[in-house]
Chains A and B, each alone.
Chain A
Amino acid sequence: MADDAIRCDACPVLCYIKPGRAGSCDRYGNHEGQLVRLDPHVMLERAQSRGDSLVPFLDKSRDWDGTLVNDAETFVTAIGAGTTYPDYKPAPFIISSQVQGVDMVTVVTEGIFSYCGVKLKIDTDRHLGAECSTVRAQGEPVGHVTTGEYGSQMLSLGGVRHLTGGSRHEGTVTCDTLLSLCNGKAVELEIENGAKVVVQADKAPIVDGIQEERMRVGCGSATIGMFARQWFGKVDEVVVVDDHITGVLSEHQAGKLLGIPETGIKMKGRRSTPGRYFKVAEPGTSWGGTDISDPLSILAPFDPEVAKPGLRLLMVSTTGEHYAYYELDEALRPLEKDLPSALRESVARIKENCEPALCTVLFMGGAGGSLRAGVTENPVKLTHSVRDSLTRVTCGGAPVYVWPGGGITIMVDVSRMPENAFGYVPTPALVAPIEFTMKLADYATLGGHMNHVRPMNSIHRDEDGRKKVMPRPDNPWPLASGRVGKGE
């Protein structure tokens, strides 16, 4: 068989692809012996608002040549731009543009990241696994459980040790997992001695087959603490039902401080500290993450020595999704009544404070030698320029957080990037878009490839293989003045 063909392993068809040809999907091709994605090169283009003072100028420039793009309103992203790897050559696109009279340059390249991974925040109070437990995808270790945060479990996935330090299969699966997560696809992860969780950027997590809906406002005990003052005087007793810690107002420290008298309530489950109960029921998907459908099932009969007929009782879950109001009859049995309007607000407020449970995916990676050499002949100057805020870094036009300290280590929320912004190479390593925007004068100073700078209007918007997308309205415009260049 032809020696110059390469085997594509992007899917099980495993096409042999000749140089200059694409595989059966037309999405991967053989470019000079390298497997590359043939995805279109993405450009962000801002909608021109009518009535804007810039309109006459824009119209004039259109008369001049309708196919050319307007400098300030177009940003060429690195998505689909190609890379400098493996030979150290100037970045594929070094584009100059004028923004408010200042000559700017954007260096656009797809970086190949071996040192990269994903920080995954999973909004759930369920125990996913112990800290440092191995996280597996398709049976391979791809990361570990890291320090949990308030209301969220955190996973750290990828990194060079899993990508290239383990078996070939471990590397491939890790790369596949990172790629899927970064491109907004669902991934199933299994935590050692823990849960199975399906995660997807900007979607609710599915833990052991159960989809999380809302983050609870706090545990049952915390909810008592937060709302005790709002309940005071309007109701005699409140039970906040929670699979973790169920709270009881009259016994809780917060109730004691307000001088709320004993009510004679008797809880099932195991008392932890006053007003805090573990295991009032089995875990489930009903009231406060328990399996109960009747909240009275977690109460024993009221103490006849203490309880009085007419006692008012509110039972509510930690998300405010379930609630019931009772008054004790002559025999001290709770009878369900309509929720008084005075209590309605507090229940609504619990609900309002429960945000939708989401998975969030931050891509984290470090820009290495080849990538920085594509920008400048003296790579450390790029690092300094980023550090000094002379150069703005974006990923597919989305804002990034640059870690303090040495190197260019960035974090970016993948859901703020255009769709399918990431690719991979069989190394295995992830391909991520990265753009460096700075003043043209600063680019010259840091030893930029000045003879490769080309004007924005040399990029044809409608060219085959180029795709224009609208930028996300909540992202700052990458070419906007303000952060780039001191003294602006």
Chain B
Amino acid sequence: MNTRAQIRMLPDGRRLHMHDGPIDLIVQAFGAAAEIEVAYRAAAERFVSVLDELCGELAFLRSPTREDGPLPVGPIARRMAAAVQPYASTTFITPMAAVAGAVAEEILQAMTTLAVLSRAYVNDGGDIALHFTPGKRFVVGMMEYFKPEPTALPQRVTPHELPNTPVFLCDPRGSRSLSASDEPSPDAYQPQKTTLFGTTTIEFANPIRGIATSGWRGRSFSLGIADAVTVLADTAAMADAAATIIANAVDLPGHPSVERVPACELAPDSDLGERLVTQSVGELTREEIIEALAAGISVAQSLQAAGLIRSAALNLHGETRVAGAISAARANSARERDLLHA
């Protein structure tokens, strides 16, 4: 029995919170009460071995993926490997780029295999796997930052929900700072520091079943300068890998306002080794912002053309660019912002 794992219902009595080491999941299932119970039990049973499984082949999962390289053993590790495989021939990537999305998918599958649910999601620190049936939908909100937060301590961000429609705040810092004791309350959410830069609705007819967000302020290191890149893709692991790749591409190589540090100096066992990761982004001109976003959009469009993502929203210093159908969303609408903060 894994005694580290912490599994409990959040105070709202509806969402399940599961935590083990660096993994922090918020899970919600919708449907008949008995089915929800079956689903949560299945989620918890699957969850307790996840971290040990991944750590069992951590060295391999941290090593660069080669096009025809060997495959890992565990089912989650295989999801990770499959999601990063399309990038292996052209760039440096390790299976860890898809770990959060892959864990979310695995837990969601454990739930939907055993229970009949109208809708469900598994949110792994902002990387989200979705399940729904015809007629059901999810609303997704994307976050940006107005001012850099130099603090090393995690900030508190509480998912904000509208009745009957989960609204995910796709936050590159993740939702892991949400502790089980936090009551979701509007006070916990800090509009002076964060704001939504757009919302989008995902319906059953969309092939989208995964959402991920990446950026240099996030929990994982980024090689780029994007504040937040939110990706919608067919699976959560695909979205996770793609968000990493696109966020890396939003960049101004060699720019003096960008502070970069070798990853291994910050975390000696980082899979990024000596690669320079972004630690802060200073003042940029409007032209520079547009240039960096354009570099990201060009990568996003090629991933979209290759069928690796459905759409992406890129945010840097308050500017937003979108690729794909997400443009149908009311990105950067001031009215929407007021509505959701109200």
Chain A residues with CB under 8 Å of chain B are: 1-2, 5, 10-18, 20-26, 29, 38, 40, 137-138, 176-177, 180, 185-188, 418-420, 464-465, 469
- Distance to closest chain B CB from A217 (angstroms): 31
Task: Say yes or no: A187-B180 contact (C-beta < 8 A), given A23-B22, A464-B151.
Answer: no
Distance in angstroms between the alpha carbons of A469 and B185 in the assembled complex: 13
User: Are B176 and A138 within 8 A (Cβ)?
Assistant: no
Interface residue? B152 (CB, 8 A):
yes
Q: CA–CA, A464 to B265, complex, Å?
A: 25
Q: Which residues of A contact B179 (CB under 8 A)?
A: 419-420
Given A2-B265, A5-B268, A138-B1, 10 more A-B residue pairs with CB atoms under 8 Å apart are: A14-B55, A15-B267, A16-B267, A24-B21, A25-B21, A26-B154, A26-B219, A185-B6, A187-B1, A188-B1
Chain A residues near B114: list those with CB within 8 A.
none
Q: A188 — which chain B residues lie within 8 A by C-beta?
A: 1, 3
User: Is residue B52 contacting chain A, with contact meaning CB distance below 8 A?
Assistant: yes
Identify which of A22, A29, A176, A464 contacts B3 (C-beta below 8 A). Answer: A176
CA distance A420 to B1 in the complex (A): 20
Which residues of chain A come closer than 8 Å to B51, judged between CB atoms? Answer: 11-13
* A2-B268, A26-B176, A419-B181 known; A13+B3 contact, CB < 8 A: no
Judge whether B269 and A16 touch: CB under 8 Å. yes
Cβ-neighbour of A15 out of B154, B176, B269 (below 8 A)? B269
Given contacts A10-B21, A26-B177, contact A16 B52 (CB under 8 A): no
Please tell me if B334 contacts chain A, counting CB pairs below 8 Å.
no
Say yes or no for B58: interface residue by CB 8 A criterion. Answer: yes
Whether B268 and A469, one on each chain, are in contact in the complex, defined by CB atoms closer than 8 angstroms, is no
Contact of B152 among A1, A22, A137, A138 (CB under 8 A): A22
Q: When the two chains form their complex, are residues B22 and A11 in contact, meaning their CB atoms are under 8 A apart?
A: yes
- Whether A11 contacts B20 by the Cβ 8 Å rule is yes
How many Å lie between the Cα of A186 and that of B266 in the bound state?
A: 35
**Cβ-closest chain B residue relative to A188:** B1
With a CB–CB cut-off of 8 A, which chain B residues contact A20? Answer: 152
Q: Which of B171-211 contact A (CB under 8 A)?
A: 176-177, 179-181
Contact between A1 and B1, CB atoms less than 8 A apart: no
Chain B interface (Cβ < 8 Å from any Cβ of A): 1, 3-4, 6, 20-22, 51-52, 55, 58, 151-155, 176-177, 179-181, 219, 265-269
Shortest CB-to-CB span from A209 to chain B, Å, is 13
For residue A466, which residue of chain B has the nearest CB?
Answer: B153
Given contacts A12-B52, A25-B22, contact A185 B3 (CB under 8 A): yes
Q: A24 and B3: CB pair below 8 A?
A: no
* Neighbouring A residues of B177 by C-beta, 8 Å: 26
A187 to chain B: closest residue by CB? B3
Q: What residue of chain A has the Cβ atom nearest to residue B149's Cβ?
A: A464
Tell me the nearest residue of chain B to A39, going by C-beta: B179
Whether the Cβ atoms of A465 and B21 lie closer than 8 Å is no
A18 with B265: CB separation less than 8 A: yes
A5 to B269, CA, bound (A): 10
In the bound complex, how far is the Cα of B4 from the Cα of A385, in angstroms?
39
Which residues of the partner chain A approach B20 to less than 8 Å between Cβ atoms?
A: 11
Q: B176 contacts A12, CB within 8 Å? A: no
A286 to chain B, nearest CB (A): 23
Residues of A within 8 A of B266 (CB): 18, 21
- Nearest chain B CB to A467's CB is how many angstroms away? 8
CB-CB nearest in chain B for A12: B55
Least Cβ–Cβ distance between A335 and chain B, in angstroms: 37
* Known A26-B177, A26-B219, A185-B3: A16·B268 in contact at CB below 8 Å: yes
Q: CA–CA, A323 to B144, complex, Å?
A: 63
Residue in contact with A177 in the complex, picked from B3, B22, B151, B268, CB distance below 8 Å: B3
Q: Which residues of B contact A420 (CB under 8 A)?
A: 179, 181
Residues on A with C-beta less than 8 A from B155 are: 464
CA distance A477 to B3 in the complex (A): 33
CB-defined A-B contacts under 8 Å, sample of 17: A2-B265, A10-B4, A14-B55, A15-B269, A20-B152, A21-B266, A23-B22, A24-B21, A26-B176, A29-B152, A40-B153, A138-B1, A176-B4, A180-B3, A419-B180, A464-B151, A465-B153
Q: Which 6 A-B pairs have the closest CB atoms?
A: A11-B21, A12-B55, A25-B22, A16-B268, A24-B22, A188-B1
Residues of B within 8 A of A15 (CB): 267, 269
Nearest residue (CB) in A for B6 is A185
Assembly CA distance A22 to B21 (angstroms): 12
Q: Bound complex: CA of A257 vs CA of B265, how far in Å?
A: 84
Smallest Cβ-Cβ distance to B177: which chain A residue = A26
Least Cβ–Cβ distance between A54 and chain B, in angstroms: 23
Selected contact of B267 from candidates A11, A21, A38, CB within 8 Å: A21
Let me know if B268 and A38 touch, CB within 8 A. Answer: no
Assembled-state Cα–Cα distance A241/B313 (Å): 68
Among B58, B151, B176, B181, point to the contact of A469 (Cβ < 8 A). Answer: B181
The answer to whether B55 touches A13, judged by C-beta atoms less than 8 angstroms apart, is yes
- In the assembled complex, the Cα of A188 lies from the Cα of B269 at a distance in Å of 33
Given contacts A18-B266, A419-B180, A464-B155, contact A13 B6 (CB under 8 A): no
Which of A17, A418, A464 interacts with B153 by CB under 8 Å?
A464
Determine the distance from Cα of A275 to Cα of B52 in the docked complex, in whole angstroms.
55
Residues of chain A within 8 A of B3, CB atoms compared? 137-138, 176-177, 180, 185-188
User: Which chain A residue shows the least CB distance to B220?
Assistant: A24
Shortest Cβ gap from A462 to chain B (Å): 10
- Complex: A25 Cα to B23 Cα, angstroms: 7
CB of A182 to closest CB in B, whole Å: 12
Whose C-beta in chain B lies nearest to the C-beta of A15? B269
What CA separation (Å) do A96 and B175 show in the bound complex? 36
Minimal beta-carbon separation of A45 from chain B (angstroms): 13
Question: Do the beta carbons of A21 and B152 come within 8 Å of each other?
Answer: yes
Chain A hits for B52, CB < 8 A: 12
Tell me, rounded to whole Å, the shortest Cβ–Cβ distance linking A12 to chain B. Answer: 4
Residues of B contacting A186 with CB < 8 Å? 3
Q: How far is the CA of A2 from the CA of B274 in the complex (A)?
A: 13
Contact of A11 among B4, B152, B269 (CB under 8 A): B4
Known: A18-B268, A138-B3, A185-B3. A13 touches B22 (CB 8 A): yes
A487→B151 CA distance, assembly (Å): 47
Q: In whole Å, how far is B75's beta carbon from the nearest beta carbon of chain A?
A: 18
Bound Cα distance A427, B58 (Å): 26
Q: A18-B266, A138-B3 are in contact. Are A13 and B58 (CB under 8 A)?
A: yes
* C-alpha spacing A387/B251, complex, angstroms: 65
Contact partners of B181 in chain A: CB under 8 A? 418-420, 469
Of all chain A residues, the one with the shortest Cβ separation from B153 is A465
In the bound complex, residues from chain B placing their C-beta under 8 Å from that of A180 are 3-4
Contacts of B269 in A (CB 8 A): 15-16
